Amino acid sequence: MKKSLILAYASFRKGFDFQYKELVYKGDNIYFNDELVEDKEKKYSEGDSFINIGYNFKNSSSRILSNLYPISFKFRGKKVASIEGVLQGIKYQDKKIQNLILKYAGLDAYHTRGANAIDFWGKNGILYWQGRPMKRDSEEYQLFLDELYLSALTNPIYRIGLLATGDKYLLHHIGGTDANQTVLTRYEFESRLNSLRQWVKSNQKRAN
């Protein structure tokens, strides 16, 4: 992928009017934008103002935009089976192990994290692509994430699924918030999905 495209999207994302909101906890209930997203009975996949992204929801829009969803695409010359496979793979310095993990999707991809438990990446905040280190807290890593999601757009199922969500806020309420414990925080995920959707819409308008 051309670096100019990655930088153009990164600039768009940073300038995007992203309306991130903290979740509100009241007893056993969790709210987003004054709407219930979880109580002790269930988690809710959609509200009037949001679509909650999650692989275990029955809502198709929630599932298809989950990082775990099995969408194949090429990323930096590698054919990958899901976004999650990449996010789990970058925890490993060994290229052979990483390349194996890139082939996984769904919960199988997620649970490869178990092999990283002994040598947890968060101890030093270093992630890897094909043996090359990246600091978790660097701009280089943020551009890596931008490139990853732009690459996912090359799969038409992902692209159309993103546009099909309309204008509702794309939420991932179970997302972690500590960048020392997760390679993708709730903010990083939601800011990309919401800005990426507008990026696609804006570029479609220019094309027409």
- For 69-116, the pLDDT digits (tens) are 999 999 999 999 999 999 999 999 999 999 999 999 999 999 999 888
* Mean pLDDT within 114-124: 88
DSSP E strand boundaries for the chain: 24-26, 29-32, 35-38, 50-52, 73-75, 78-80, 126-129, 132-135, 169-171
| Residues whose CB falls within 8 Å of the CB of residue 19, separated by 6 or more in sequence, listed in order | 169
Which CA distances in Å does 207 have to 137, 157, 167, 195?
35, 20, 20, 18
- pLDDT tens sequence across 12-71: 999 999 999 999 999 999 999 999 999 999 999 999 999 999 999 999 999 999 999 999
Q: In this prediction, what percent of the chain has a pLDDT beyond 90?
A: 94
pTM of model > 0.85: yes
The whole-number pLDDT of residue 205 equals: 67
Bridge pairing between strands 24-26 and 29-32: antiparallel
Q: Is the pLDDT of residue 170 over 90?
A: yes
Provide CB contacts within 8 A for 43, sequence distance 6+: 37, 52, 54, 57, 173, 174
**Contact of 199 with 9, CB cutoff 8 Å:** yes
Count the helices and strands in the chain (H runs, E runs).
Answer: 8, 9
Instruction: Check residue 207 and give its pLDDT.
Output: 57
pLDDT value at position 206?
66
Superfamily of domain 3-207: YbiA-like (1.10.357.40)
**Is residue 45 a contact partner of residue 62, using CB atoms and an 8 Å limit?**
yes
Name the token pair of 91: 């925890």
Q: What is the mean pLDDT of the chain?
A: 96
